[in-house]
């Protein structure tokens, strides 16, 4: 290939052409980077369809109860509780012909250990309910202050016994309910967005098994959200 004599080359035009090409490449690279950043942000917003609940922590989309443990978010599954007659009281009722022995039933969750475990004693809970049906529900003005509207949820500490986690004991006399007994922990509710509620603890949770239960007009909902708190203390290293 025959080379062009250097005297015939327009070096100024060549330099301008190279500079222009470099500028176009840089502009294209910047445009691609901007589009990638926009796509990444769109992906984040698609993953989080609702709101940010803590710095860098987003509540996943969908309905349900969620636990925030530090930077970790877990959705709690609902476990079906069972109502069982207390065998000791039932035996007393059989042996005593006159109905003076009160009846007793226990509300239990099968199994001794919840699947979801949290290690922190400073956790928060978020409940997202289904949006109201405008054709079925009338408009209700809700308050952001706790205790005035929204679902009534209690945090119940379970008693592990006999391969089950007991949440409540119900004592009845002559067929009439007289007492519901359950061990509850302090819990405060805040409405932070339409149909989204935040529940904060009033005290640290000791290690153990727990359940969040919705309280209905006729008693505790038997479908509860269960979880367990593990002990963070580690045994001292052997010397």
Same domain, 68 and 18: no
pTM above 0.75, yes or no: no
Beta strands in the chain (DSSP E): 52-54, 57-58, 64-69, 72-76, 78-80, 82-85, 103-110, 117-118, 124-128, 153-157, 159-161, 164-173, 176-181, 184-185, 187-193, 196-201, 208-216, 219-220, 223-229
Q: How far apart are CA 57 and CA 68, in angstroms?
A: 9
- Per-residue pLDDT of 153-202, as tens digits, reads 999 999 999 899 999 988 876 656 567 889 999 999 999 988 999 999 98
* Tokens matching residue 107: 């509300």
Q: What pLDDT does residue 101 have?
A: 44
Same domain, 82 and 200: yes
Same domain, 132 and 149: yes
Same domain, 43 and 159: no
| Domain membership flag for residue 4 | no
7 pLDDT higher than 50: yes
Q: What pLDDT does residue 47 have?
A: 38
Q: How far apart are CA 93 and CA 101, in angstroms?
A: 6
Same domain, 182 and 70: yes
| Domain membership flag for residue 194 | yes
Sequence-distant (6+) residues with CB within 8 A of 160 are: 112, 166, 209
| Domain membership flag for residue 234 | no
Classify residue 90 by burial, with Cβ atoms within 10 Å: 0-12, 13-18, 19+.
middle
| Domain membership flag for residue 130 | yes
Higher pLDDT, 224 or 57: 224
Same domain, 77 and 38: no
Same domain, 79 and 169: yes
State how many domains the chain has. Answer: 2
| Domain membership flag for residue 99 | yes
Closest CA to 73 of 121, 123, 135: 123
| Domain membership flag for residue 1 | no
Same domain, 176 and 117: yes
| Domain membership flag for residue 239 | no
Sequence-distant (6+) residues with CB within 8 A of 223 are: 78, 79, 80, 81
- 167 near 107, Cβ under 8 Å? yes
- Per-residue pLDDT of 13-61, as tens digits, reads 666 666 666 666 566 556 555 555 554 444 343 333 557 888 888 898 8
Same domain, 222 and 158: yes
- Per-residue pLDDT of 116-125, as tens digits, reads 999 877 799 9
Q: What pLDDT does residue 65 have?
A: 96
Same domain, 109 and 170: yes
User: Domain residues for 41?
Assistant: 12-47
| Domain membership flag for residue 63 | yes
Same domain, 193 and 222: yes
Higher pLDDT, 69 or 231: 69
Q: What pLDDT does residue 178 have?
A: 65
Same domain, 115 and 202: yes
């Amino acid at each position: 290939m025959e080379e062009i004599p250097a005297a015939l080359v327009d070096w100024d035009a060549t330099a301008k052409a190279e500079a222009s090409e470099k500028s176009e490449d840089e502009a294209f690279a910047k445009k691609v980077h901007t589009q990638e950043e926009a796509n990444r942000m769109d992906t984040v917003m698609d993953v989080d369809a609702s709101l940010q609940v803590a710095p860098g922590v987003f509540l996943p989309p969908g309905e349900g109860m969620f636990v925030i443990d530090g930077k970790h978010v877990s959705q709690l599954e609902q476990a079906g509780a069972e109502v069982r007659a207390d065998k000791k009281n039932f035996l007393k009722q059989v042996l005593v012909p006159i109905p003076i022995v009160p009846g007793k039933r226990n509300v239990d969750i099968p199994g001794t250990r919840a699947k979801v475990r949290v290690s922190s004693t400073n956790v928060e809970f978020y409940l997202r309910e289904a949006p109201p049906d405008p054709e079925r529900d009338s408009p209700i003005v809700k308050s952001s202050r706790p205790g005035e509207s929204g679902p009534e949820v209690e945090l119940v500490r379970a008693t592990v016994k006999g391969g089950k986690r007991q949440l409540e004991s119900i004592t009845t006399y002559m067929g009439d309910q007289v007492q519901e007994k359950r061990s509850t922990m302090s819990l405060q509710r805040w409405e932070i967005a339409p149909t989204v509620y935040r529940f904060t603890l009033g005290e640290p949770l000791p290690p153990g098994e727990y359940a969040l239960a919705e309280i209905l007009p006729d008693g505790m909902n038997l479908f509860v959200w269960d979880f367990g708190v593990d002990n963070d203390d580690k045994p001292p290293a052997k010397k």
